[in-house]
A and B are shown apart, each in its own frame.
Chain A
Amino acid sequence: DGGITQSPKYLFRKEGQNVTLSCEQNLNHDAMYWYRQDPGQGLRLIYYSQIVNDFQKGDIAEGYSVSREKKESFPLTVTSAQKNPTAFYLCASSIPHRGSNQPQHFGDGTRLSIL
């Protein structure tokens, strides 16, 4: 079955600690995205990548970092500089726009909490 796998489902971070959220897709999509969801707010874009070894900041990139070394993987690191990391994190992928319209497909999310 093709899809997007996010792990872990739940993650706890101690003060001053960096944590990495995993996102893997087997849909052969070039584009991948990370969103953050907070109660009462819409999803907000953290980072996105349209191709391997390239990524761009979204609306709320401060305190986060990403890498895109493989087409199928787009890990997100929440650094200690992110002062309010408690949220639900969602990864998505799609065929890049390039003149066509393709839907984004989402994983089941990782819930990050502070200890």
Chain B
Amino acid sequence: KQEVTQIPAALSVPEGENLVLNCSFTDSAIYNLQWFRQDPGKGLTSLLLIQSSQREQTSGRLNASLDKSSGRSTLYIAASQPGDSATYLCAPGGVTGGGNKLTFGTGTQLKVEL
């Protein structure tokens, strides 16, 4: 059974810092890995999807890397802003019933302070 761990559970940084969020998973038989953002009381917003054949994916100030063999992914946020404050979730997509079954970590709660 896939298990996903995200470290740290919470993080508070001053505005402008570069930061790294970590995700580890136990089963490397995945098709892809998604990073999401969740604001309080809201649904999830997809940030990046990395296919299992890729090493990294970039969108604006966000860069996600994937090392499938070691069961690790990182989300790098450059020049953090207060608007980046949210919970970040990683979810590897396993090979079950069509390949889109995601297993979620408990997230990293990020606060970016002025």
Segment among A67-75, A77-85, A89-97 that sits at the interface with chain B: A89-97
The reply on A65 being an interface residue by CB < 8 A is no
Contact in complex: A97, B43 (CB < 8 Å): no
The reply on A101 being an interface residue by CB < 8 A is yes
Segment among B12-20, B67-75, B78-86, B104-112 that sits at the interface with chain A: B104-112
Q: Closest B-chain residue to A30, C-beta based?
A: B98
Chain A residues lying within 8 Å of B103, measured Cβ to Cβ, are: 42
Total contacts A-B at CB 8 Å: 71
A31-B100 in contact given A42-B89, A42-B105, A42-B106 (Cβ < 8 Å): yes
Q: Closest A-chain residue to B34, C-beta based?
A: A103
What are 18 A-B interface contacts by the 8 Å CB criterion? A31-B98, A35-B104, A42-B105, A42-B107, A43-B44, A45-B101, A45-B102, A48-B100, A58-B101, A90-B43, A90-B44, A96-B99, A101-B51, A102-B49, A102-B100, A103-B46, A108-B42, A109-B41
